[in-house]
Structure 1
Amino acid sequence: MQPEISPLDPADQPTVDAIQQLRVAVEAVTVPDFPPPCPVEFRASLTHQVSFHRTERYVARLDGVPAGYLTIGLPQRENQEGASVGLAVHPDHRRRGVGRALHAHLIQRLAELGRKRYYADTVASLPDGPERLVAGAEFATAMGAKAALPEVRRRLDLTTVPEQVWRELGASARSAAAGYQVVTWQDRTPDEYAADAGYLDGRLISDAPTGDLVLDAPVIDVSRLREKEAMLAAYQLRSYSAGAVHEQTGRLVALTTIGRQHNAPWHAWQWITLVDPEHRGHRLGALVKVANLQFALAHEPQLRVVDTWNAAVNEHMISINEAMGFRPVDRWVSWQQEV
């Protein structure tokens, strides 16, 4: 029997609940050390709209039971020829054509939208790391996608690193950062730093390694930054940021942010870390990352682990993370397919 595919209706509460359960089940077998997908964030994402991005969601049913889930992320300003994709099949319904049916629907829908390529991620094992399923990479290859960017996830286990390590690393970074002041904030960026924070966030695509991915760097002005912050607030995602201010000009020239989802106070995701090219060479990356970790810990007493990703060629950021105590866990690949 062929799966039946239809859009996910946010008002269809039983199906929304079933898809949330599917997401949890998939994560449990794919990356079991991740926190479970947050139901608050998921339900808010179904209704909260932003001007710079739109998401389409589809459910695949077998005998009326939700068995697969497809998301198509559609940038509305830059990258209008591409789409980010998430495709998940419940572990109890695999090897029954659900994934292929959703992929065929994806290709058809991208053609209708005039999108020329999509991006998706998979996880795999490192030689000495925990075992990960190979199904994701095998499926991507079978569908014709090409591996475009290899990355490694590293995890900081806060229970295994003495605080002295961060104090010494921070002190060493401060000795090279004369003329810069560290500032911190939770959630909403202070008005005086908003324009610079948007500029730094927008540089991430152009400054960080992106391999063979075809991506345009976004332009993030204050209005878009505030819109993104409102979205995170709707998702009940809590964030902590640290920046370096150049004392001579008053400009925010380095920025790092970590965030935690509502249902996992023990876990945080490392988001952006970026230093303006004109201010590199002063160890500002290490300075703000250590300061931000200490800032977050002061507000999140249950925090135990932080996860981050680095492209294999990003040696400078890897060295900072390793010095802080991050250690490799698994290998990730960003796939790209022209359609």
Structure 2
Amino acid sequence: MSIAIASFDKSDQTAIDAAFQVAAAAQAVDLPDFPQLSRQQFEGGIRHPMPSRSLRMALATLDDVSVGYLVLYLPQAENVNNASLELVVHPAFRRRGVGRALYGHAVRVLRELGRKRIIAATVGPLPEGPDRPAVGARFAAALGAQPALGEVRRRLVVDQADHAAHDALLADARERATGYRTVTWQAVTPEEYVADVGYLDSRLVTDSPTGDLVLEPERVDAERVRGVERVLTARGRSPYHCGVVHEASGRLVAWSMIVVVPSVPRHADQQITIVDPAHRGCRLGLLTKIENLRYVLAHEPELREIDTWNAADNKHMIAINEQLGFRAVDAWTNWQLDI
């Protein structure tokens, strides 16, 4: 048996199709509660990378059968010594050296590019959660990677949400948020808030727990905000936003975003929620999350599940999410490896 690794790019539809089949098979085994992977989701990520990021891809074949793939995400503005790695092996072909072959290819490419560090994530079980294969964690540890940040995925099942409790939480948050008002929008940020969204987005690495990950804060300006919006549109994703405006200054000082993939309308991801440090203590994070949850549910009647990830030691945001009814599902580990 011979393992072959071949690079490909976004113009190679045959290779993209083969990688998609591997990804779909792996997700069905490793994350069975995820919605079935759609081709739109997978291809969108390859064809439309985020601003200031380039990709390198490779496909692994075993006796001419596609058995694994690799995507390297290469920051081009900040964190230029880093590379994020997505390495997936078909469940039927694991423990045959495919992962090692893909990893070896990745290291050769990254060294040629002058990169010094790989960051990658794996999933595992929680003590009282559903079973999850430990194959990813074992592989990362065997390569010498170090666990740098632990996260937990939580899920809100919409039909089980306690809307009366949400009403009470929202009333309390509004009472505490005197001098602020909420605004909502889809897709394109209103021009008067785009600089503030960039500022808040830039604070994410500074304000959120990052464990031992070696990360620089991103400098997100209005141009990059618009670039992200274009990418999400090109990928066929529908973002819903809620912000909080400080009425005295007119600035947007808190922001939350939920993203829906129309091809999988029952599922969404709760992504960033962040509050300007100068405006904390007024329940603005809770306010934006509840208002945005209501906003997305009013526009997405088929939505049934919302997932979110938090650093395991982000006690403040975890408390907010659990108040809203998010419950822990599985554990995720961000690994780091110097090359």
Measured against aligned partners, the alpha-carbon deviations of 1:215-269 in whole angstroms (never above 9, x if no partner) come to 0110111111101110000000111010100000000000000101232100110
Q: Specify the alignment match of 2:135 in structure 1.
A: 135
* 3-state SS of paired residue (1:159): helix
Q: Specify the alignment match of 2:224 in structure 1.
A: 224
Measured against aligned partners, the alpha-carbon deviations of 1:128-164 in whole angstroms (never above 9, x if no partner) come to 1000001010000001100000111111111112321
Identity rate, percent: 50
Please give the alpha-carbon distance, in whole angstroms, between the structure 1 residues aligned to 2:10 and 2:179.
51
Give the counterpart letter for 2:334 in structure 1. Answer: S
Tell me if 1:18 matches 2:18: yes
CA contact (8 A) 1:155 1:329 kept: yes
Q: Specify the alignment match of 1:331 in structure 2.
A: 331
Q: Specify the alignment match of 2:27 in structure 1.
A: 27
Change (3 A) 1:49 1:213: closer
CA contact (8 A) 2:19 2:66 kept: yes
Please give the alpha-carbon distance, in whole angstroms, between the structure 2 residues aligned to 1:204 and 1:14.
37
Q: Specify the alignment match of 1:318 in structure 2.
A: 318
Q: Specify the alignment match of 1:3 in structure 2.
A: 3
Alpha-carbon shift at residue 49 of structure 1 (Å)? 5.4
* 3-state SS of paired residue (2:226): helix
RMSD: 1.2
CA contact (8 A) 1:150 1:334 kept: yes
Q: TM-score, normalized by length of structure 1?
A: 0.98
Give the counterpart letter for 2:106 in structure 1. Answer: L
Alignment of structure 1 residues 45-64 onto 2, 5 Å: 45-48=45-48, 51-64=51-64
* 3-state SS of paired residue (1:248): coil
Q: Specify the alignment match of 2:251 in structure 1.
A: 251
Measured against aligned partners, the alpha-carbon deviations of 1:158-190 in whole angstroms (never above 9, x if no partner) come to 111232121111111111100000000011111
Alignment of structure 1 residues 187-198 onto 2, 5 Å: 187-198=187-198
Give unpaired runs (5+ residues) of structure 2.
none
Q: TM-score, normalized by length of structure 2?
A: 0.98
CA contact (8 A) 2:51 2:228 kept: no
Give the counterpart letter for 1:185 in structure 2. Answer: W
CA contact (8 A) 1:166 1:290 kept: yes
CA contact (8 A) 1:240 1:296 kept: yes
Tell me if 1:237 matches 2:237: yes
Change (3 A) 1:272 1:51: closer
* 3-state SS of paired residue (2:70): strand
Give the counterpart letter for 2:52 in structure 1. Answer: F
Change (3 A) 1:50 1:273: closer
Alignment of structure 1 residues 1-339 onto 2, 5 Å: 1-48=1-48, 51-339=51-339
Please give the alpha-carbon distance, in whole angstroms, between the structure 1 residues aligned to 2:9 and 2:279.
48
CA contact (8 A) 1:56 1:72 kept: yes
* 3-state SS of paired residue (1:28): helix
* 3-state SS of paired residue (1:285): helix
Please give the alpha-carbon distance, in whole angstroms, between the structure 2 residues aligned to 1:60 and 1:311.
32
Alpha-carbon shift at residue 51 of structure 1 (Å)? 4.6
Change (3 A) 1:7 1:293: same
Measured against aligned partners, the alpha-carbon deviations of 1:11-63 in whole angstroms (never above 9, x if no partner) come to 33333222111111111111111123331233234333555000111001111
